[in-house]
Amino acid sequence: MAASRALRDLTLTLVAAVAALGCLLVIAWKIYFRGAGTSTDWSGWWERELQELREREPPGDTDWHPTHPLLCSPQVPWRQVLVLGLDGAGKSSVLHYICSHRARKSIAPTYGFNSAQLCVEGLEVDLLEVGGSQNMRAYWHHYLSQAHVLVFVVDSVDRSRLLTAREELHMLLDAEPRLPLVVLANKQDKSDALSTAELWEELALHTVNGQREIFLLPTSATWASLSTTNSVLHVKNLLVTLLSQP
């Protein structure tokens, strides 16, 4: 039994390492070919789905939709948003909602990474989501150096793992002390969700370095939340503002 468990743990660790290496290679690939003026098509599964949705929409609505890399000019400034959080926090759902303005009933967990490219407000924006399993978290800090904004998604209902979320978040903040931080208090549509005020205390955000820009937003990636204060679309507007800063 012990040998079987050890083999399983080793397998999970190796899978996480391979996924992390693949993610780093994708980042390097995009940066290299962007500088060379050559397009790439390394897309996450939901980026391809969003592109199909975009192609079916009527013309004229171009705000924050995924685009094929060929449509992003190499001359526009490049920005990366790094999206992290524990597994099950709702990272993929939030990004899907931001990009498509559509909600999904269920999205499979991210075991490696998801990536989407957007052209917005004269910027080329890469949204990079890295899986939040225990094995993947060990590699999170490798992605901080290329990020312009860190988005950390928290499950507002999962009280049992708030301490883990806080510890992981503060390790990231210690590693990159000036990176703007956007914390999303997700799943606010649930009746037992903690409020943003409660999460501010639980995550010890009051202890964060005062020189860092920090935001805590309530979110819910559901159809019913589209026109409420919990809409993920508010996150989109904030990211545009942060990424447009010199």
Question: Is residue 92 marked as binding?
Answer: yes
pLDDT confidence of residue 119: 83
Q: Mean pLDDT score of the chain, rounded to an integer?
A: 77
CATH of residue 30: 3.40.50.300
For 79-126, the pLDDT digits (tens) are 999 999 999 999 988 888 887 766 666 566 667 888 888 888 788 889
Question: Is residue 110 marked as binding?
Answer: yes
Question: Is residue 4 marked as binding?
Answer: no
Question: Is residue 37 marked as binding?
Answer: no
pLDDT confidence of residue 110: 65
Question: How long, in residues, is the chain?
Answer: 246
For 12-36, the pLDDT digits (tens) are 455 444 444 455 455 444 544 444 4
For 31-73, the pLDDT digits (tens) are 444 444 443 333 444 455 445 544 544 444 444 444 444 456 6
Question: Is residue 86 marked as binding?
Answer: yes
* pLDDT higher at 45 or 187: 187
Question: Is residue 209 marked as binding?
Answer: no
Which range, 60-69, 71-80, 176-185, has the best average confidence (pLDDT)? 176-185
Q: Which residues pair with 186 in a beta bridge?
A: 155
Question: Is residue 245 marked as binding?
Answer: no
Question: Is residue 122 marked as binding?
Answer: no
Residue 86 tokens read as 């524990």
Question: Is residue 186 marked as binding?
Answer: yes
Question: Is residue 236 marked as binding?
Answer: no
pLDDT confidence of residue 243: 94
pLDDT confidence of residue 103: 61
What backbone phi and psi angles, to 5 degrees, belong to 113?
-155, 160
Question: Is the predicted pLDDT of residue 138 greater than 90, yes or no?
Answer: yes
Tally of domains in the chain: 1
Question: Is residue 22 marked as binding?
Answer: no
Q: What is the pTM of this model?
A: 0.74
User: Per-residue pLDDT averaged across 213-218, rounded?
Assistant: 95
Question: Is residue 91 marked as binding?
Answer: yes
pLDDT confidence of residue 237: 87
Percent of the chain at pLDDT exceeding 90: 43
Question: Is residue 116 marked as binding?
Answer: no
Question: Is residue 188 marked as binding?
Answer: yes
pLDDT confidence of residue 117: 83
pLDDT confidence of residue 169: 98
Domain of 194, in residue numbers: 2-243
pLDDT confidence of residue 12: 43
* pLDDT higher at 99 or 188: 188
